[in-house]
Amino acid sequence: MLSKKHVILTGDRPTGKLHIGHYVGSLKNRVALQNTGDYDTYIMIADTQALTDNARDPEKIRHSLLQVALDYLAVGIDPAKSTILVQSQIPALSELTMAYLNLVSVSRLNRNPTVKAEIKQKAFGESVPAGFFIYPVSQAADITAFKADTVPVGEDQEPMLEQTREIVRTFNNVYGQEILVEPEGYFPPKGQGRIPGLDGNAKMSKSLDNAIYLGDSEDTIQKKIMSMYTDPEHIHIEDPGHIEGNTVFTYLDIFAEDQAHVADLKAQYQHGGLGDVKIKRYLNDVLQAKLQPIRQRREQFAADEGAVYDILKQGSERANQVAAQTLHEVRHAIGVDYFG
């Protein structure tokens, strides 16, 4: 008897192109998991969630939808192995969200540390959009609609998963049926889930404009690398330099295959006699080699946008059937399937 495959649900908000931080933190893992053949994989472009704080700029979301899809395909997400779907095209998700909202209190949503941190970061104050405030419940609908038991996320998203698990337990208990599945997080190895920005900021971010994007040209990548934050006290080549907090070395630790050479560079830099320009040129060589095939595949897919939209349409249609079946079961459990 064949064992049932695990189910993955993961995705991104379409608020701009994806960058190498996304690649390190999630995209690379998604491709690896997809290629094991052990999972039914659903990868969602979360446009409905993106609209919760971009409702007055829908064109940004519409434009970014294609950009995110191109990045997925470029890094190796294969529509023959993974279902790529668009959140807004799955009507069942909205009704599931409404059903779950009736089981969650406002005070519980207020305690979610991830939401609290994002509200502070976005400086909403008292003007938090209601859709943004309840998006942990919307995420629970996304996960449970496909009965995902595995959700690849960063460690900062664990509170979101715990809220989903609470909703699952509450629903199954209240309605007396084990319909919904509790998900577990799939986390990157410790210290490998986040890459700092070019400016040394703790996080690479589209909003801070401190990122190298997967679709950046060769010249753009080189210019960004040459402007990177290193060691402000390393003024002259002969000065001993610090590698802790030095963004160039952080990137080399992540991307360079020849770690013995990186160790030699670190020793030279700390001793004195190695300039920032030299290590930046080496990083440029490393990243260009890593990103060139991704950029080339991206350009190939971008040459036929219609085909990319077809992939999204077909994936959404497949996902819609699965989510509709879950909604049917949820309606039956609640008792609102009045007409059969």
Q: What is the pLDDT of residue 2?
A: 45
Assign 192 a pLDDT band (cuts: 50, 70, 90).
low
Q: What is the pLDDT of residue 191?
A: 59
Among the listed residues 311, 318, 326, 316, the one whose alpha carbon sits nearest the alpha carbon of residue 88 = 316
Contacts of residue 71, defined as CB under 8 A and 6 or more positions apart, other chains included, come to: 17, 18, 22, 27, 214, 215, 298
pLDDT, mean over the chain: 93
Tokens 């209601």 correspond to 130
Q: What is the pLDDT of residue 258?
A: 97
Q: What is the pLDDT of residue 1?
A: 38
Assign 208 a pLDDT band (cuts: 50, 70, 90).
confident
CA 69-70-76 angle, to 5 degrees, is 95
Q: What is the pLDDT of residue 125?
A: 87
189: left (phi > 0), else alpha (psi -120 to 50), else beta?
beta
Assign 85 a pLDDT band (cuts: 50, 70, 90).
very high
Q: Each residue of 110-119: pLDDT tens digit?
A: 999 988 888 9
Q: What is the pLDDT of residue 278?
A: 96
Q: What is the DSSP letter of 279?
A: H
Do the beta carbons of residue 75 and residue 28 sit within 8 Å?
Answer: yes
What does the pLDDT average to over 148-173?
A: 92
Burial of 324 (0-12, 13-18, 19+ CB in 10 A): middle
The highest-confidence range among 144-153, 241-250, 306-315, by mean pLDDT, is 306-315
What does the pLDDT average to over 220-227?
A: 96
Distance CA 52, CA 49 (A): 5
What does the pLDDT average to over 301-329?
A: 98
Q: Does the pLDDT value for residue 334 go beyond 60?
A: yes
Please tell me which residue, 157 or 27, carries the higher pLDDT value: 27
Q: Each residue of 241-266: pLDDT tens digit?
A: 999 999 999 999 999 999 999 999 99
For 1, 62, 151, 330, the CA distances from 182, given in Å and listed in that order, are: 24, 32, 10, 15
Q: Each residue of 23-48: pLDDT tens digit?
A: 988 899 899 999 999 999 999 999 99
0.85 cut: is pTM over it? Answer: yes
Q: Does the pLDDT value for residue 225 go beyond 90?
A: yes
What does the pLDDT average to over 262-271?
A: 96
Distance CA 293, CA 273 (A): 34
| CA 70 to chain centroid | 14
